[in-house]
Amino acid sequence: MPARYLLIVTQEGHAKRLSLNEFKVRRRGTKGTKVLREGFLLGGIAIVSDNDEIIVVTERGKILRTRADEVAVLSRLGRGGKVIQLEEGDRVVAIIPVRGG
């Protein structure tokens, strides 16, 4: 079975992958787990494997398709690398995983 990751893209266009093994099962009433630094807003999130692709969609209609394995695997509070170049006033509003073969 291929490794699976939580892929996160911020509204500013930064992306990172986190190994699902980094997350522990939590019970009711816990505070959860931080995956973004303070001040970053979530643009999209998906569960992906190395052979998947993702489509990144912006508010102004810009679309980027890239391989999931091109996004760096980082720690939970890492910033992430720039995955899409945005124009002034634009922001990421969705990501769509495309399952690989």
Residue 101 has pLDDT above 60, yes or no: no
What is the model's pLDDT at position 87? 94
pLDDT in tens, 9-58: 999 999 999 888 877 777 776 666 666 777 788 899 999 998 999 999 99
* 26 vs 29: CA distance, rounded Å: 9
Report whether 76 contacts 34 (CB < 8 A): yes
Of the candidates 43, 101, 93, 49, which has an alpha carbon nearest to the alpha carbon of residue 73? 49
**pTM across the whole model:** 0.84
Which of 39 and 59 is assigned the larger pLDDT? 59
pLDDT in tens, 71-98: 988 876 677 889 999 999 999 999 999 9
What is the model's pLDDT at position 33? 65
Q: Using alpha carbons, list the distances in angstroms from residue 96 to 35, 54, 66.
A: 19, 6, 11
Range of the domain at 45: 4-98
* 57 vs 93: CA distance, rounded Å: 6
Residue 1 has pLDDT above 70, yes or no: no
* 41 vs 63: CA distance, rounded Å: 19
Please count the structural domains in the chain: 1
What is the model's pLDDT at position 37? 74
Greatest CA separation for the chain: 41
